[in-house]
């Protein structure tokens, strides 16, 4: 168990370092490190501190957010097919971002797009709490999530449909594919508080999610306040996933696959799967973000596309094993 966590931690550190050292500028390793820590060489310091460092940091933050949210939702719903997009937050955040691009707000100032996306996420939370009620069951949460996702998806399509400007439309489509290219430390600073607060909220759910292994009745009789757990879950997922979508666009599969891959390795207890899945998600996004730079450096291969390409086969395997177990 400790070995799994140590291994995951080491993997994340290794990939983080690799992410800092790999890029189209082709900088020598020792110069890069000098520039990052001591600020030697003007151009190279700029590349390291303003381009590569925010990109690597965001990969860790986005991956950890998605992995953690996926693990928390799976634990709450007691279903390995749950994923962070389920409660409609990522779809609504994407809609906020799309509106910012379409209205030209995104071009007006740098942080307009992520701010609009965060606004979309907040809207989704308000809607979901209204629809699912403060004390509803897991099922009402899923249904409300599906409804909100569908609505946000339809509105996004509508914006694209009515877009008079083909450049805006293509910008929207590319943004929706998900990427970490050309992000700044401002982006890091904007989403870090949301992700930190959401992460604390989700990690605090371990005890309750463990008890839910035995079902809602047994968990309630073990002294777990299910209404409070559900509220913390919604707020935690919304903060982490809303922020992740705001800064990286739509990135699927990480939240679905990371907990699934690591579950048995950590003994399957939800409280253990939470941190393991956060580390696993960070490693996945770091690795994928390195891969998009190595596979097609000239073509701007999108992070979300690559992850979906690799993630879909994992998902198929999950369905096949599930079918065999039934």
Partner 1 sequence: MSLLTLTDLKSFRRERMVLNGISLHIAAGEVVGLIGPNGAGKTTLMRAALGLIPFSGNSSLMQMVPRLRARHVAWLPQSREIAWPISVEALVALGRLPHGDTDPAPVTAALHRMDLEALRHRPATELSGGEQARVLIARTLAQQAPLLMADEPVAGLDPAHQIATMQVLGDLARGGHGVLVSIHDLGLAVRHCTRLIALDQGRIAADGPPREVLTPALLHRVFGITAHFEDTPQGPIFQPLSTV
Residue selected from 220, 265, 305, 318 as contacting partner 1 according to rule CB under 8 A: 220
Q: Indicate whether 83 belongs to the interface with partner 1 (CB under 8 A).
A: no
Contact with partner 1 (CB under 8 A) among 103, 140, 184, 213? 213
| Cα 78 from Cα 141, distance rounded (Å) | 13
CB of 80 to partner 1, least distance (A): 9
Residues 6 or more apart whose Cβ sits within 8 Å of residue 92: 120, 121, 123, 124, 127, 148, 152, 242
Exactly one of 46, 110, 139, 221 binds partner 1 (CB under 8 A); that residue is: 221
Asked if residues 289 and 301 have their Cβ atoms less than 8 Å apart, the reply is no
Nearer to partner 1, 218 or 294 (CB): 218
26 backbone φψ class: left, alpha, beta (φ>0; ψ -120 to 50): left
- What sign has the CA pseudo-torsion 270, 271, 274, 277? negative
Nearest residue (CB) to partner 1, 211 versus 246? 211
The single-letter DSSP state of residue 84 is G
Options 13, 222, 296, 320; binder of partner 1; rule CB under 8 A:
222
Q: Which of 218, 295, 309, 320 binds partner 1 (CB under 8 A)?
A: 218
Contact stretch for partner 1 (CB under 8 A) within 4-12, 204-212, 279-287, 288-296 = 204-212
Residue 86 · residue 145 · CB < 8 Å = yes
Report the site for partner 1 in 243-272 (rule: CB under 8 A): 263-264, 267-270
Residue 9 beta carbon to partner 1: minimum distance, rounded to whole angstroms: 23
**Contact 263/76 with Cβ under 8 angstroms?**
no
Our CB check for partner 1 shows the closer of 42 and 217 to be 217
Q: Site for partner 1 (CB under 8 A): which residue of 78, 105, 136, 265?
A: 78
- Any contact of residue 114 with partner 1 (CB under 8 A)? no
Sheet strands (E) in the chain: none
Residue 211 in the binding site for partner 1 (CB under 8 A): yes
Residue 6 CA to residue 12 CA, distance in Å, equals 10
179/251 Cα distance (integer angstroms): 8
* Cβ at position 79, least distance to partner 1 in Å: 8
Distance separating alpha carbons of residues 82 and 85, to the nearest angstrom? 8
Q: Residue 316 Cβ, how far from partner 1 at the closest point, in Å?
A: 21
Site for partner 1 in 14-73 (CB under 8 A): none
- What kind and span of H or E run contains 324? helix 303-325
Stretch that binds partner 1, among 27-35, 37-45, 194-202, 211-219 (CB under 8 A): 211-219
Work out which of 4, 192, 207, 315 binds partner 1, going by CB under 8 A. 207
177 SS3 class: coil
Q: Does 139 bind partner 1 (CB under 8 A)?
A: no
How many residues of this chain bind partner 1 (CB under 8 A)?
Answer: 22
Taking CB under 8 A as the rule, does residue 217 contact partner 1? yes
**How many whole angstroms separate alpha carbon 229 and alpha carbon 206?**
10
Round to whole Å and give the CA distance between 219 and 263. 21
Residue with smaller CB distance to partner 1, 44 or 71: 71
Residues that bind partner 1 (CB under 8 A): 78, 207, 210-215, 217-218, 220-225, 263-264, 267-270
């Amino acid at each position: 168990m400790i070995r799994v966590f140590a291994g995951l931690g080491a993997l994340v550190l290794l990939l983080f370092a690799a992410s800092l050292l790999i890029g189209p500028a082709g900088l020598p390793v020792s110069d890069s490190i000098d520039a990052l820590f001591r600020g030697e060489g003007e151009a190279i310091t700029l590349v390291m501190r303003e381009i590569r460092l925010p990109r690597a940091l965001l990969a860790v933050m986005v991956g950890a957010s998605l992995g953690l949210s996926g693990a928390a939702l799976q634990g709450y719903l007691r279903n390995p097919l749950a994923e962070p997009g389920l409660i409609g937050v990522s779809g609504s955040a994407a809609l906020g971002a799309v509106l910012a691009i379409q209205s030209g707000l995104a071009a007006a100032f740098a942080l307009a797009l992520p701010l609009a996306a965060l606004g979309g996420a907040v809207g989704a939370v308000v809607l979901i709490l209204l629809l699912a009620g403060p004390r509803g069951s897991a099922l009402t949460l899923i249904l409300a999530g599906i409804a909100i996702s569908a609505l946000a998806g339809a509105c996004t399509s509508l914006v694209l449909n009515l877009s008079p400007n083909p450049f805006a439309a293509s910008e929207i489509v590319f943004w929706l594919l998900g990427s970490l290219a050309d992000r700044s430390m401002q982006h890091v600073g904007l989403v870090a508080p949301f992700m930190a607060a959401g992460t604390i909220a989700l990690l605090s759910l371990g005890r309750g999610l463990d008890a839910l292994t035995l079902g809602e009745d047994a968990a309630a009789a073990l002294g777990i306040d299910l209404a409070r757990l559900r509220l913390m879950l919604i707020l935690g997922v919304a903060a982490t996933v809303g922020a992740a979508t705001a800064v990286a666009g739509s990135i699927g599969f990480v939240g679905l696959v990371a907990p699934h891959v690591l579950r048995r390795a950590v003994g399957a207890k939800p409280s253990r799967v939470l941190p393991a899945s956060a580390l696993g998600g960070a490693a996945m996004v770091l690795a994928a973000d390195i891969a998009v730079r190595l596979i097609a450096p000239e073509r701007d291969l999108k992070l979300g596309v690559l992850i979906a390409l690799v993630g879909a086969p994992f998902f198929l395997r999950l369905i096949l094993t599930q079918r065999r177990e039934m």
